[in-house]
């Protein structure tokens, strides 16, 4: 158990809909990273938040947005869903900068299926 919790574990929805994925990082970790894992694209970096502020963006679509709340949990919002958005979405956390040794702690993922 990595200590990172993601909900829901599975989600089935229709094209055009909007979903929210939630991530609770390990206790004390200030950084949250979101990744999308699909069969054809591998593990794609989406976005990184540190203590509530956006630190870095990757290949995140404009239809997707994220935020990190004061209690450090994070949400990834996916809207106007398309079939190609079907994937496993991972959240990972890491400690504060001065003690960070680069290790990411991954949750078990949220599997999104768009029909």
Partner 1 sequence: AQSVTQLDSQVPVFEEAPVELRCNYSSSVSVYLFWYVQYPNQGLQLLLKYLSGSTLVKGINGFEAEFNKSQTSFHLRKPSVHISDTAEYFCAVSGGNFNKFYFGSGTKLNVKP
Instruction: State the residues that interact with partner 1 by CB under 8 A.
Output: 2, 4, 31, 33, 35, 42-43, 45, 48, 55-56, 58, 90, 92, 94, 97, 100-104, 106-109
Closer by beta carbon to partner 1, 79 or else 104: 104
* Rounded-to-integer distance, Cα 47 and Cα 58, Å: 6
3-state secondary structure of 60: coil
Distance between first and last Cα of the chain: 31
Task: For the CB of residue 62, give the shortest distance to partner 1 in the complex, in Å.
Answer: 19
Closer CB to partner 1, 7 or 80, in the complex: 7
Q: How far is the CB of 19 from partner 1 (least distance, A)?
A: 19
Residue 33 CB, shortest distance to partner 1, in Å, is 7
Q: Which residues contact 23 (CB under 8 A, 6 or more apart)?
A: 4, 5, 6, 32, 34, 73, 74, 75, 76, 91, 93, 107
């Amino acid at each position: 158990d990595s200590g990172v919790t993601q909900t829901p574990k599975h989600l089935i929805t229709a094209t055009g809909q909007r979903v929210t994925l939630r991530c609770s990082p390990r206790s004390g970790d200030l950084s949250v990273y979101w990744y999308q894992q699909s069969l054809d694209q591998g593990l794609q970096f989406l976005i990184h938040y540190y203590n509530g502020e956006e630190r870095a963006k990757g290949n995140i679509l404009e239809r997707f947005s994220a935020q990190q709340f004061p209690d450090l949990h994070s949400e990834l919002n996916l809207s106007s869903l398309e079939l190609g958005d079907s994937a496993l979405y991972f959240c990972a956390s890491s400690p504060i900068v001065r003690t960070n040794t680069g290790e990411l702690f991954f949750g078990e993922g949220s599997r999104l299926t768009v029909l």
